[in-house]
Structure 1
Protein backbone atom coordinates (compact mmCIF):
# COMPACT_ATOMS: atom_id res chain seq x y z
CA UNK A 1 0.00 0.00 0.00
CA UNK A 2 2.91 2.40 0.70
CA UNK A 3 4.05 1.92 -2.90
CA UNK A 4 0.59 2.81 -4.17
CA UNK A 5 0.48 5.94 -2.01
CA UNK A 6 3.89 7.02 -3.31
CA UNK A 7 2.60 6.69 -6.86
CA UNK A 8 -0.45 8.77 -6.00
CA UNK A 9 1.70 11.56 -4.56
CA UNK A 10 3.93 11.54 -7.62
CA UNK A 11 0.95 11.82 -9.96
CA UNK A 12 1.79 8.59 -11.76
CA UNK A 13 -1.61 7.06 -11.13
CA UNK A 14 -4.51 9.42 -11.54
CA UNK A 15 -8.20 9.54 -12.22
CA UNK A 16 -8.82 10.88 -15.67
CA UNK A 17 -11.98 12.55 -16.91
CA UNK A 18 -13.48 10.98 -19.99
CA UNK A 19 -14.40 13.71 -22.43
CA UNK A 20 -14.31 14.58 -26.10
CA UNK A 21 -10.92 15.38 -27.60
CA UNK A 22 -10.25 18.65 -29.36
CA UNK A 23 -10.61 18.23 -33.11
CA UNK A 24 -7.15 19.61 -33.86
CA UNK A 25 -4.23 18.98 -31.52
CA UNK A 26 -1.69 21.69 -30.77
CA UNK A 27 2.05 21.00 -30.77
CA UNK A 28 3.50 19.81 -27.44
CA UNK A 29 4.32 22.67 -25.09
CA UNK A 30 7.45 21.03 -23.70
CA UNK A 31 10.37 19.10 -25.09
CA UNK A 32 10.64 15.37 -25.88
CA UNK A 33 7.87 13.35 -24.26
CA UNK A 34 5.59 16.30 -23.58
CA UNK A 35 1.98 15.34 -24.42
CA UNK A 36 0.11 17.24 -27.13
CA UNK A 37 -2.72 19.57 -26.11
CA UNK A 38 -1.28 20.10 -22.61
CA UNK A 39 -2.90 23.10 -20.91
CA UNK A 40 -1.26 26.45 -21.53
CA UNK A 41 -1.76 29.76 -19.75
CA UNK A 42 -1.48 33.30 -21.08
CA UNK A 43 -2.74 36.77 -20.26
CA UNK A 44 -5.49 38.18 -22.47
CA UNK A 45 -7.04 41.64 -22.78
CA UNK A 46 -10.42 42.55 -24.18
CA UNK A 47 -13.13 45.15 -24.15
CA UNK A 48 -14.72 46.28 -20.90
CA UNK A 49 -16.77 43.41 -19.51
CA UNK A 50 -15.13 40.85 -21.79
CA UNK A 51 -14.58 38.43 -18.90
CA UNK A 52 -17.45 39.57 -16.69
CA UNK A 53 -18.67 42.77 -15.06
CA UNK A 54 -15.78 45.20 -14.72
CA UNK A 55 -13.33 42.66 -16.16
CA UNK A 56 -11.20 43.28 -19.24
CA UNK A 57 -8.02 41.34 -18.40
CA UNK A 58 -7.78 37.66 -17.57
CA UNK A 59 -5.59 34.56 -17.63
CA UNK A 60 -6.64 32.07 -20.27
CA UNK A 61 -6.26 28.39 -19.34
CA UNK A 62 -6.77 26.12 -22.31
CA UNK A 63 -6.00 22.52 -23.12
CA UNK A 64 -5.82 19.19 -21.34
CA UNK A 65 -4.87 19.14 -17.66
CA UNK A 66 -1.67 17.07 -17.57
CA UNK A 67 0.54 15.92 -14.71
CA UNK A 68 2.67 19.08 -14.75
CA UNK A 69 0.02 21.70 -15.60
CA UNK A 70 0.03 23.13 -12.08
CA UNK A 71 3.65 24.22 -12.55
CA UNK A 72 2.71 26.39 -15.53
CA UNK A 73 -0.19 27.89 -13.61
CA UNK A 74 2.10 28.85 -10.72
CA UNK A 75 4.64 30.29 -13.17
CA UNK A 76 2.19 32.66 -14.86
CA UNK A 77 0.63 33.71 -11.54
CA UNK A 78 4.08 34.53 -10.17
CA UNK A 79 4.68 36.79 -13.17
CA UNK A 80 1.60 38.89 -12.44
CA UNK A 81 3.29 40.83 -9.62
CA UNK A 82 0.29 40.70 -7.34
CA UNK A 83 -2.38 41.40 -9.97
CA UNK A 84 -5.32 39.10 -9.25
CA UNK A 85 -6.57 38.35 -12.74
CA UNK A 86 -9.44 35.85 -13.00
CA UNK A 87 -8.84 32.49 -14.66
CA UNK A 88 -10.95 31.67 -17.73
CA UNK A 89 -10.97 27.87 -18.10
CA UNK A 90 -11.27 25.97 -21.37
CA UNK A 91 -10.37 22.32 -20.77
CA UNK A 92 -10.68 19.34 -23.08
CA UNK A 93 -9.43 15.79 -23.49
CA UNK A 94 -8.65 13.17 -20.83
CA UNK A 95 -7.62 15.52 -18.03
CA UNK A 96 -5.81 14.52 -14.84
CA UNK A 97 -8.38 15.18 -12.13
CA UNK A 98 -5.85 15.13 -9.30
CA UNK A 99 -3.92 17.97 -10.92
CA UNK A 100 -7.19 19.85 -11.57
CA UNK A 101 -7.78 19.73 -7.81
CA UNK A 102 -4.26 21.01 -7.18
CA UNK A 103 -4.85 23.95 -9.51
CA UNK A 104 -8.17 24.70 -7.81
CA UNK A 105 -6.34 24.91 -4.48
CA UNK A 106 -3.77 27.24 -6.02
CA UNK A 107 -6.56 29.56 -7.18
CA UNK A 108 -8.09 29.61 -3.70
CA UNK A 109 -4.73 30.20 -2.03
CA UNK A 110 -4.12 33.15 -4.36
CA UNK A 111 -7.63 34.55 -3.84
CA UNK A 112 -8.55 34.43 -7.54
CA UNK A 113 -11.91 34.27 -9.30
CA UNK A 114 -12.68 31.73 -12.01
CA UNK A 115 -15.08 31.18 -14.89
CA UNK A 116 -15.26 29.00 -17.99
CA UNK A 117 -14.93 30.16 -21.57
CA UNK A 118 -12.93 29.93 -24.77
CA UNK A 119 -10.44 32.75 -25.31
CA UNK A 120 -10.38 33.83 -28.96
CA UNK A 121 -7.15 35.67 -29.74
CA UNK A 122 -7.51 38.32 -32.45
CA UNK A 123 -4.05 37.68 -33.91
CA UNK A 124 -4.93 34.00 -34.42
CA UNK A 125 -7.66 34.76 -36.96
CA UNK A 126 -6.97 32.82 -40.15
CA UNK A 127 -3.79 31.25 -38.79
CA UNK A 128 -3.13 27.51 -38.44
CA UNK A 129 -3.12 26.05 -34.94
CA UNK A 130 0.68 25.78 -34.78
CA UNK A 131 1.10 29.50 -35.55
CA UNK A 132 -1.58 30.47 -33.03
CA UNK A 133 0.09 28.28 -30.41
CA UNK A 134 3.39 30.08 -31.02
CA UNK A 135 1.67 33.42 -30.33
CA UNK A 136 0.18 32.19 -27.05
CA UNK A 137 3.14 30.28 -25.68
CA UNK A 138 5.16 33.33 -24.44
CA UNK A 139 2.27 34.19 -22.11
CA UNK A 140 0.76 37.33 -23.64
CA UNK A 141 -0.80 39.76 -23.17
CA UNK A 142 -2.88 39.23 -26.30
CA UNK A 143 -5.99 41.05 -27.49
CA UNK A 144 -8.90 38.64 -27.34
CA UNK A 145 -12.53 38.01 -26.50
CA UNK A 146 -14.28 35.26 -24.53
CA UNK A 147 -16.85 32.95 -26.10
CA UNK A 148 -18.71 29.91 -24.82
CA UNK A 149 -16.45 26.92 -24.09
CA UNK A 150 -16.54 24.15 -26.68
CA UNK A 151 -16.28 21.36 -25.61
CA UNK A 152 -18.45 22.08 -22.59
CA UNK A 153 -17.16 22.60 -19.06
CA UNK A 154 -16.31 19.06 -17.90
CA UNK A 155 -15.46 17.62 -14.47
CA UNK A 156 -11.84 18.81 -14.68
CA UNK A 157 -13.16 22.29 -15.51
CA UNK A 158 -15.56 22.12 -12.54
CA UNK A 159 -12.79 21.00 -10.17
CA UNK A 160 -10.62 23.94 -11.21
CA UNK A 161 -13.59 26.31 -11.13
CA UNK A 162 -14.37 25.21 -7.57
CA UNK A 163 -11.16 26.84 -6.38
CA UNK A 164 -12.29 30.29 -7.46
CA UNK A 165 -13.27 32.68 -4.68
CA UNK A 166 -16.07 33.86 -6.96
CA UNK A 167 -17.22 31.32 -9.53
CA UNK A 168 -19.35 31.98 -12.58
CA UNK A 169 -20.43 30.40 -15.84
CA UNK A 170 -21.51 32.50 -18.82
CA UNK A 171 -25.10 32.46 -19.98
CA UNK A 172 -25.51 29.68 -22.52
CA UNK A 173 -22.63 27.60 -21.15
CA UNK A 174 -23.01 23.84 -20.71
CA UNK A 175 -21.68 21.61 -17.92
CA UNK A 176 -21.28 17.97 -18.93
CA UNK A 177 -20.13 15.34 -16.44
CA UNK A 178 -18.73 12.04 -17.67
CA UNK A 179 -17.21 8.97 -16.05
CA UNK A 180 -13.66 8.73 -14.77
CA UNK A 181 -11.01 6.08 -15.07
CA UNK A 182 -7.60 5.23 -13.66
CA UNK A 183 -4.61 5.87 -15.89
CA UNK A 184 -0.91 5.23 -15.30
CA UNK A 185 1.33 7.39 -17.45
CA UNK A 186 4.27 5.02 -16.97
CA UNK A 187 2.59 1.70 -17.66
CA UNK A 188 -0.26 0.57 -19.96
CA UNK A 189 -2.35 -1.34 -17.40
CA UNK A 190 -3.64 -1.00 -13.85
CA UNK A 191 -4.77 -4.14 -12.00
CA UNK A 192 -8.57 -4.31 -11.43
CA UNK A 193 -8.25 -4.47 -7.62
CA UNK A 194 -5.88 -1.51 -7.63
CA UNK A 195 -8.22 0.39 -9.94
CA UNK A 196 -11.18 -0.16 -7.62
CA UNK A 197 -9.22 0.83 -4.52
CA UNK A 198 -7.78 3.98 -6.06
CA UNK A 199 -11.12 5.06 -7.51
CA UNK A 200 -12.58 4.97 -4.00
CA UNK A 201 -9.57 6.77 -2.48
CA UNK A 202 -9.61 9.53 -5.07
CA UNK A 203 -13.39 9.87 -4.79
CA UNK A 204 -13.11 10.62 -1.08
CA UNK A 205 -10.35 13.12 -1.78
CA UNK A 206 -12.55 14.93 -4.28
CA UNK A 207 -15.47 15.01 -1.84
CA UNK A 208 -13.25 16.55 0.82
CA UNK A 209 -11.85 19.10 -1.61
CA UNK A 210 -15.27 20.17 -2.90
CA UNK A 211 -16.59 20.51 0.65
CA UNK A 212 -13.62 22.71 1.58
CA UNK A 213 -14.23 24.88 -1.48
CA UNK A 214 -17.92 25.31 -0.64
CA UNK A 215 -19.22 23.03 -3.41
CA UNK A 216 -21.59 20.15 -2.70
CA UNK A 217 -19.73 16.78 -2.75
CA UNK A 218 -22.83 15.33 -4.42
CA UNK A 219 -20.99 16.06 -7.65
CA UNK A 220 -18.82 13.01 -7.03
CA UNK A 221 -21.91 10.85 -6.50
CA UNK A 222 -23.17 11.94 -9.93
CA UNK A 223 -19.84 10.98 -11.49
CA UNK A 224 -19.83 7.60 -9.72
CA UNK A 225 -23.36 6.88 -10.94
CA UNK A 226 -22.24 7.45 -14.53
CA UNK A 227 -19.38 4.97 -14.28
CA UNK A 228 -16.55 4.48 -16.73
CA UNK A 229 -17.89 4.58 -20.27
CA UNK A 230 -21.39 5.58 -19.15
CA UNK A 231 -23.61 8.15 -20.80
CA UNK A 232 -22.51 11.71 -19.90
CA UNK A 233 -24.89 13.87 -17.87
CA UNK A 234 -25.74 17.44 -18.82
CA UNK A 235 -26.24 19.52 -15.68
CA UNK A 236 -29.02 22.15 -15.88
CA UNK A 237 -28.22 25.68 -14.71
CA UNK A 238 -30.52 25.16 -11.70
CA UNK A 239 -28.04 22.57 -10.41
CA UNK A 240 -25.11 24.98 -10.80
CA UNK A 241 -26.58 27.12 -8.03
CA UNK A 242 -27.99 24.25 -5.96
CA UNK A 243 -24.61 22.51 -5.82
CA UNK A 244 -22.78 25.85 -5.44
CA UNK A 245 -20.71 25.29 -8.58
CA UNK A 246 -21.27 29.00 -9.09
CA UNK A 247 -21.39 31.62 -6.37
CA UNK A 248 -23.99 34.32 -5.86
CA UNK A 249 -23.40 37.53 -7.88
Structure 2
Protein backbone atom coordinates (compact mmCIF):
# COMPACT_ATOMS: atom_id res chain seq x y z
CA UNK A 1 0.00 0.00 0.00
CA UNK A 2 1.43 3.38 -0.98
CA UNK A 3 2.24 5.92 1.75
CA UNK A 4 -0.31 8.39 0.35
CA UNK A 5 -3.08 5.78 0.36
CA UNK A 6 -2.09 4.77 3.88
CA UNK A 7 -2.40 8.39 5.02
CA UNK A 8 -5.82 8.67 3.38
CA UNK A 9 -7.15 5.52 5.01
CA UNK A 10 -5.69 6.66 8.31
CA UNK A 11 -8.15 9.54 8.29
CA UNK A 12 -11.05 7.10 8.57
CA UNK A 13 -10.13 3.76 10.12
CA UNK A 14 -7.10 3.73 12.35
CA UNK A 15 -5.58 2.24 15.44
CA UNK A 16 -5.67 4.70 18.30
CA UNK A 17 -3.75 4.73 21.54
CA UNK A 18 -5.30 6.64 24.42
CA UNK A 19 -3.11 8.46 26.93
CA UNK A 20 -3.64 11.14 29.50
CA UNK A 21 -4.18 14.65 28.18
CA UNK A 22 -3.12 17.90 29.86
CA UNK A 23 -5.68 19.40 32.18
CA UNK A 24 -6.07 22.45 29.95
CA UNK A 25 -6.76 21.79 26.29
CA UNK A 26 -5.34 23.99 23.56
CA UNK A 27 -7.63 25.85 21.18
CA UNK A 28 -8.47 24.02 17.92
CA UNK A 29 -5.81 24.42 15.23
CA UNK A 30 -8.37 24.98 12.47
CA UNK A 31 -11.92 26.25 11.96
CA UNK A 32 -15.15 24.77 13.33
CA UNK A 33 -14.95 20.97 13.61
CA UNK A 34 -11.18 20.85 14.02
CA UNK A 35 -10.21 18.28 16.68
CA UNK A 36 -8.96 19.62 20.01
CA UNK A 37 -5.28 19.48 20.86
CA UNK A 38 -4.24 18.57 17.28
CA UNK A 39 -0.45 18.39 16.96
CA UNK A 40 1.31 21.57 15.92
CA UNK A 41 4.89 22.12 14.78
CA UNK A 42 7.13 25.13 15.25
CA UNK A 43 10.83 25.96 15.28
CA UNK A 44 12.43 26.64 18.65
CA UNK A 45 15.85 27.95 19.68
CA UNK A 46 17.70 27.56 22.95
CA UNK A 47 21.20 27.58 24.43
CA UNK A 48 23.87 25.17 23.21
CA UNK A 49 22.91 21.62 24.13
CA UNK A 50 19.25 22.50 24.69
CA UNK A 51 18.07 19.65 22.45
CA UNK A 52 21.06 17.35 22.75
CA UNK A 53 24.81 17.42 22.18
CA UNK A 54 25.65 20.40 20.00
CA UNK A 55 21.97 21.12 19.37
CA UNK A 56 20.37 24.52 19.92
CA UNK A 57 17.63 24.61 17.26
CA UNK A 58 14.83 22.12 16.84
CA UNK A 59 11.30 21.54 15.57
CA UNK A 60 8.81 21.15 18.40
CA UNK A 61 5.97 18.69 17.79
CA UNK A 62 3.27 18.89 20.43
CA UNK A 63 -0.29 17.70 20.75
CA UNK A 64 -2.43 14.78 19.65
CA UNK A 65 -1.57 13.02 16.38
CA UNK A 66 -4.69 13.51 14.27
CA UNK A 67 -5.60 12.27 10.79
CA UNK A 68 -4.08 15.29 9.05
CA UNK A 69 -1.03 15.90 11.29
CA UNK A 70 1.38 14.66 8.63
CA UNK A 71 0.40 17.61 6.40
CA UNK A 72 1.59 20.12 8.99
CA UNK A 73 4.84 18.19 9.48
CA UNK A 74 5.52 18.25 5.74
CA UNK A 75 4.68 21.97 5.62
CA UNK A 76 7.18 22.98 8.30
CA UNK A 77 9.90 20.75 6.85
CA UNK A 78 9.38 22.38 3.47
CA UNK A 79 10.07 25.75 5.10
CA UNK A 80 13.46 24.70 6.50
CA UNK A 81 15.37 25.20 3.23
CA UNK A 82 17.38 22.03 3.69
CA UNK A 83 18.24 22.57 7.38
CA UNK A 84 17.98 19.22 9.17
CA UNK A 85 16.61 20.22 12.55
CA UNK A 86 15.80 17.39 14.97
CA UNK A 87 12.21 16.78 16.00
CA UNK A 88 11.37 17.05 19.70
CA UNK A 89 8.15 15.08 20.29
CA UNK A 90 5.56 15.80 22.95
CA UNK A 91 2.40 13.83 22.20
CA UNK A 92 -0.70 13.19 24.27
CA UNK A 93 -4.30 12.08 24.00
CA UNK A 94 -5.95 9.52 21.71
CA UNK A 95 -3.42 9.67 18.89
CA UNK A 96 -3.83 8.12 15.44
CA UNK A 97 -1.08 5.49 15.31
CA UNK A 98 -1.24 5.04 11.54
CA UNK A 99 -0.46 8.72 11.05
CA UNK A 100 2.32 8.49 13.66
CA UNK A 101 3.89 5.79 11.50
CA UNK A 102 3.51 7.96 8.39
CA UNK A 103 5.25 10.84 10.17
CA UNK A 104 8.05 8.52 11.27
CA UNK A 105 8.61 7.61 7.63
CA UNK A 106 8.67 11.30 6.71
CA UNK A 107 11.40 11.89 9.32
CA UNK A 108 13.48 9.04 7.94
CA UNK A 109 13.00 10.22 4.36
CA UNK A 110 14.37 13.62 5.42
CA UNK A 111 17.25 12.09 7.40
CA UNK A 112 16.24 13.77 10.68
CA UNK A 113 17.03 12.88 14.28
CA UNK A 114 14.31 12.66 16.93
CA UNK A 115 13.89 12.82 20.67
CA UNK A 116 11.08 13.37 23.17
CA UNK A 117 10.55 16.37 25.38
CA UNK A 118 8.30 19.27 26.25
CA UNK A 119 9.26 22.57 24.61
CA UNK A 120 8.81 25.46 27.03
CA UNK A 121 8.56 28.76 25.16
CA UNK A 122 9.93 31.74 27.07
CA UNK A 123 7.34 34.16 25.70
CA UNK A 124 4.54 31.94 27.04
CA UNK A 125 5.49 32.64 30.66
CA UNK A 126 2.49 34.14 32.44
CA UNK A 127 0.25 33.81 29.39
CA UNK A 128 -2.90 31.75 28.95
CA UNK A 129 -2.96 28.61 26.83
CA UNK A 130 -4.84 30.55 24.13
CA UNK A 131 -2.24 33.33 24.07
CA UNK A 132 0.62 30.83 24.04
CA UNK A 133 -0.98 28.89 21.20
CA UNK A 134 -1.25 32.10 19.16
CA UNK A 135 2.51 32.59 19.56
CA UNK A 136 3.33 29.05 18.42
CA UNK A 137 0.83 28.72 15.58
CA UNK A 138 2.84 30.75 12.99
CA UNK A 139 5.72 28.28 13.31
CA UNK A 140 8.44 30.22 15.14
CA UNK A 141 11.31 30.51 15.69
CA UNK A 142 10.75 31.01 19.41
CA UNK A 143 13.23 31.08 22.29
CA UNK A 144 12.63 28.02 24.44
CA UNK A 145 14.07 25.17 26.44
CA UNK A 146 13.35 21.43 26.48
CA UNK A 147 12.10 19.77 29.65
CA UNK A 148 10.93 16.28 30.57
CA UNK A 149 7.87 15.21 28.54
CA UNK A 150 4.70 15.19 30.63
CA UNK A 151 2.74 13.06 29.86
CA UNK A 152 5.54 10.59 29.20
CA UNK A 153 6.52 9.42 25.71
CA UNK A 154 3.55 7.29 24.63
CA UNK A 155 3.04 4.78 21.82
CA UNK A 156 2.46 7.49 19.20
CA UNK A 157 5.64 9.19 20.41
CA UNK A 158 7.58 5.91 20.07
CA UNK A 159 6.30 5.29 16.55
CA UNK A 160 7.31 8.79 15.47
CA UNK A 161 10.62 8.50 17.33
CA UNK A 162 11.39 5.28 15.45
CA UNK A 163 11.68 7.27 12.24
CA UNK A 164 14.61 9.29 13.56
CA UNK A 165 18.03 8.44 12.15
CA UNK A 166 19.37 8.91 15.67
CA UNK A 167 16.88 8.42 18.50
CA UNK A 168 17.33 9.58 22.06
CA UNK A 169 15.43 10.32 25.25
CA UNK A 170 16.37 12.80 27.99
CA UNK A 171 17.89 11.27 31.11
CA UNK A 172 15.04 10.13 33.33
CA UNK A 173 12.40 10.30 30.59
CA UNK A 174 9.81 7.51 30.66
CA UNK A 175 8.13 5.56 27.90
CA UNK A 176 4.61 4.43 28.83
CA UNK A 177 2.85 2.00 26.50
CA UNK A 178 -0.90 1.46 26.32
CA UNK A 179 -3.16 -0.83 24.32
CA UNK A 180 -4.69 -0.01 20.94
CA UNK A 181 -8.23 0.27 19.65
CA UNK A 182 -9.87 0.75 16.26
CA UNK A 183 -11.66 4.03 15.65
CA UNK A 184 -13.56 5.41 12.68
CA UNK A 185 -13.86 9.19 12.81
CA UNK A 186 -16.94 9.14 10.56
CA UNK A 187 -18.81 6.40 12.40
CA UNK A 188 -18.84 5.76 16.15
CA UNK A 189 -18.96 1.96 15.99
CA UNK A 190 -16.78 -0.62 14.27
CA UNK A 191 -18.03 -4.21 14.04
CA UNK A 192 -16.11 -6.63 16.33
CA UNK A 193 -15.04 -8.80 13.38
CA UNK A 194 -13.73 -5.80 11.47
CA UNK A 195 -12.01 -4.46 14.58
CA UNK A 196 -10.19 -7.74 15.16
CA UNK A 197 -9.16 -8.09 11.51
CA UNK A 198 -7.91 -4.52 11.22
CA UNK A 199 -5.99 -4.76 14.48
CA UNK A 200 -4.07 -7.72 13.05
CA UNK A 201 -3.49 -5.99 9.70
CA UNK A 202 -2.26 -2.77 11.26
CA UNK A 203 -0.11 -4.72 13.71
CA UNK A 204 1.69 -6.43 10.84
CA UNK A 205 2.20 -3.07 9.15
CA UNK A 206 3.74 -1.71 12.34
CA UNK A 207 6.07 -4.69 12.63
CA UNK A 208 7.28 -4.12 9.08
CA UNK A 209 7.73 -0.41 9.73
CA UNK A 210 9.69 -0.92 12.95
CA UNK A 211 11.94 -3.49 11.30
CA UNK A 212 12.68 -1.07 8.46
CA UNK A 213 13.48 1.68 10.99
CA UNK A 214 15.87 -0.55 12.96
CA UNK A 215 13.55 -1.07 15.95
CA UNK A 216 12.70 -4.56 17.20
CA UNK A 217 9.16 -5.45 16.03
CA UNK A 218 8.67 -7.27 19.34
CA UNK A 219 7.48 -3.88 20.56
CA UNK A 220 4.14 -4.66 18.90
CA UNK A 221 3.88 -7.92 20.87
CA UNK A 222 4.32 -5.95 24.10
CA UNK A 223 1.51 -3.59 23.13
CA UNK A 224 -0.72 -6.51 22.13
CA UNK A 225 -0.06 -8.05 25.53
CA UNK A 226 -1.46 -4.94 27.22
CA UNK A 227 -4.71 -5.16 25.27
CA UNK A 228 -7.41 -2.57 24.80
CA UNK A 229 -8.11 -0.86 28.12
CA UNK A 230 -5.26 -2.71 29.83
CA UNK A 231 -3.02 -1.24 32.46
CA UNK A 232 -0.32 1.06 30.98
CA UNK A 233 3.22 -0.29 31.16
CA UNK A 234 6.31 1.74 31.98
CA UNK A 235 9.24 0.44 29.94
CA UNK A 236 12.51 -0.25 31.69
CA UNK A 237 15.54 1.71 30.41
CA UNK A 238 17.24 -1.58 29.51
CA UNK A 239 14.31 -2.49 27.25
CA UNK A 240 14.55 0.83 25.42
CA UNK A 241 18.11 -0.06 24.42
CA UNK A 242 17.35 -3.77 23.83
CA UNK A 243 14.52 -2.97 21.43
CA UNK A 244 16.59 -0.19 19.80
CA UNK A 245 13.95 2.41 20.56
CA UNK A 246 16.95 4.60 21.31
CA UNK A 247 20.17 4.42 19.35
CA UNK A 248 23.75 4.41 20.62
CA UNK A 249 25.29 7.85 21.24
The CA deviation at 1:11 is: 2.5
Partner of 2:148: 148
Partner of 2:167: 167
Alignment of 1:227-242 (within 5 A): 227-242=227-242
Tell me the distance in 2 between the aligned counterparts of 1:8 and 1:58: 28
For structure 1, the residue ranges without an aligned partner over 5 or more in a row are none
The CA deviation at 1:22 is: 1.8
Partner of 1:22: 22
The CA deviation at 1:20 is: 0.8
The CA deviation at 1:174 is: 0.3
Q: In structure 1, the residue corresponding to 2:75 is in which secondary structure?
A: helix
Partner of 2:126: 126
Tell me the distance in 1 between the aligned counterparts of 2:233 and 2:175: 8
The CA deviation at 1:107 is: 0.1
Root-mean-square deviation (CA, aligned residues, Å) is 1.3
Q: Contact conserved, 2:169 with 2:246, CA < 8 A, in 1?
A: yes
Partner of 1:90: 90
Aligned residues: 245
Q: In structure 2, the residue corresponding to 1:209 is in which secondary structure?
A: helix
The CA deviation at 1:137 is: 0.1
Partner of 1:45: 45
TM-score normalized with structure 2 length? 0.97
Q: Contact conserved, 1:8 with 1:14, CA < 8 A, in 2?
A: no
Q: In structure 2, the residue corresponding to 1:238 is in which secondary structure?
A: helix
Q: Contact conserved, 2:101 with 2:160, CA < 8 A, in 1?
A: yes
TM-score normalized with structure 1 length? 0.97
Tell me the distance in 2 between the aligned counterparts of 1:204 and 1:23: 34
Q: Contact conserved, 2:19 with 2:93, CA < 8 A, in 1?
A: yes
